[in-house]
Amino acid sequence: MHRYSPERVHLALVLLAVCLLLAACAGSTPVADAGQPISDPDAAQALDAGAGTDASGGPDAAPPDGSSAPDASPSPPDAGSSPDAGLDLKCTPTFTLQLEDTGPKGQVFADAVPDPEAFAQETGRTVCKILYRSPEEVRDANHLTLIIRDDPQYPGWKAGDVGDITVMISSDHLAKVKAQGQDVAREIRGILLHEMTHMYQHDDKAPGEGTYGRLGNVIEGVADAVRIRAGYPPTGARPSKSGAWDDAGYAKPAFFLLWVDGRHAGFLHDLNLSMVAGDGVAWTPDAFLSITGVGVDALWSQYAGAACCSGTSQLCCN
Ligand SMILES: [Zn+2]
């Protein structure tokens, strides 16, 4: 028989509080609609523009190489005219826009991107030009559904795999970017470059593969490396050289990968191909040694001294 005792009641209350706390923590895994896990809830912490170097930092200053942003409406790829034609064709997905927010915040998107299909297709081609050299190398992804939703929690995410991909961009986030006087079209391009890299990049995710503990950070690093290489670094993104190269995602590994690519031409292309899923090989950082002839730890310590890739200059890591 349970006899009542104040100590036992106190203990029970403490235990209850702990359980509630644990339940609350366990329940916070973000879930996209229809129960799909958000494969890329990465932009959450960037809501306050510039906090954390995430995929959705506000627009940055002019691209480091000074070239103008490719915001103009793109010309459709012409199949026969250039060697890249096959690659362009492979990375021009069919497109569906779901403008869920038809209110003033949704209008911010519509005003910034009058032709979303052309805008998204051109972004896909830009991603592939940075990651690939021939259409055969490209991971299959045929259709993009772009959702514009009034989501105060995430500025953006990507869901789906091989074939049908869904990207969500938050109209709430875009309205905040606009309210801060920043370039909304540039922000959309940056988020889309990041999320569409997830659409086309290899990620080692196959049975018996994908076992590297920090694979997620490497995948996010490649996505931000493409965004930065295209001239759309997240606002506030700066190289970080403390700790390990992959103990965080996004800008930290991104700038490092771009620095390695600057020293070993084609590194980013080869790194992405080393992450092909279904090749029977679980990816590890040994790929750095196979590609460059130098181990990742040695490269990371060399990178520590690279002044051209630092908080004040990204001349050799863009
Ligand atoms: Zn991401």
One digit per residue, the tens of pLDDT, for the chain of length 318 reads 444 455 555 555 555 555 555 555 444 444 444 444 444 444 444 434 444 444 444 344 443 444 444 444 444 444 455 668 999 999 999 999 999 999 999 999 999 999 999 999 999 999 999 999 999 999 999 899 999 999 999 999 999 876 789 999 999 999 999 999 999 999 999 999 999 999 999 999 999 999 999 999 999 999 999 999 999 999 999 999 999 999 999 999 999 999 999 999 999 999 999 999 999 999 999 999 999 999 999 999 999 999 889 888 888 999
- What is the distance in A from the centroid of ligand 1 to the CA of 6? 51
- In this prediction, residue 312 carries a pLDDT of 83
Structural domain containing residue 300: 207-318
Determine the distance from the C-alpha atom of residue 156 to the mean position of all C-alpha atoms in its chain, rounded to a whole number: 9
Ligand 1 mean position, distance from CA 42 (Å): 5
Task: Using the mean position of ligand 1's atoms as its centre, give its distance from the Cα of residue 265 in Å.
Answer: 24
Last residue of a domain, one of 163, 179, 200: 200
Expressed in angstroms and rounded, the spacing between residue 194 Cα and the centre of ligand 1 is: 6
pTM given for the model: 0.76
User: Are 276 and 194 part of one and the same domain?
Assistant: no
Beta strands in the chain (DSSP E): 94-99, 141-149, 156-159, 163-170
Q: Which of 176, 200, 224 is the last residue of a domain?
A: 200
pLDDT for position 58:
39
> What's the CA-to-centroid distance between 100 and ligand 1, angstroms?
22
Residue type, 162: V
Q: Can you tell me the distance from the alpha carbon of 161 to that of 140, in angstroms, rounded to the nearest whole number?
A: 9
| Centre of ligand 1 from the C-alpha of residue 291, in Å | 24
Ligand 1 centre distance from Cα of residue 78 (Å): 30
For helices 104-112 and 171-179, the axis angle rounded to 10 degrees is 80
* Cα 53 to middle of ligand 1, angstroms: 11
Q: How far is the CA of 190 from the centre of ligand 1 (A)?
A: 11
Does residue 297 share a domain with residue 220? yes
Q: Tell me how many domains the chain contains.
A: 2
220 CA distance to ligand 1 centroid (A)? 5
If asked whether residues 114 and 192 sit together in one domain, one would say: yes
Q: What is the pLDDT of residue 311?
A: 84
- Gap from CA of 67 to ligand 1 centroid (Å): 25
Burial of 16 (0-12, 13-18, 19+ CB in 10 A): exposed
How far, in Å, from the CA of 195 to the mean position of ligand 1?
A: 6
Centre of ligand 1 to C-alpha 266, Å, is 22
- Among 184, 200, 216, identify where a domain stops: 200
Query: Tell me, what CATH number does 155's domain have?
Result: 3.40.390
Rounded to whole angstroms, the Cα distance separating 314 from 66 reads: 13
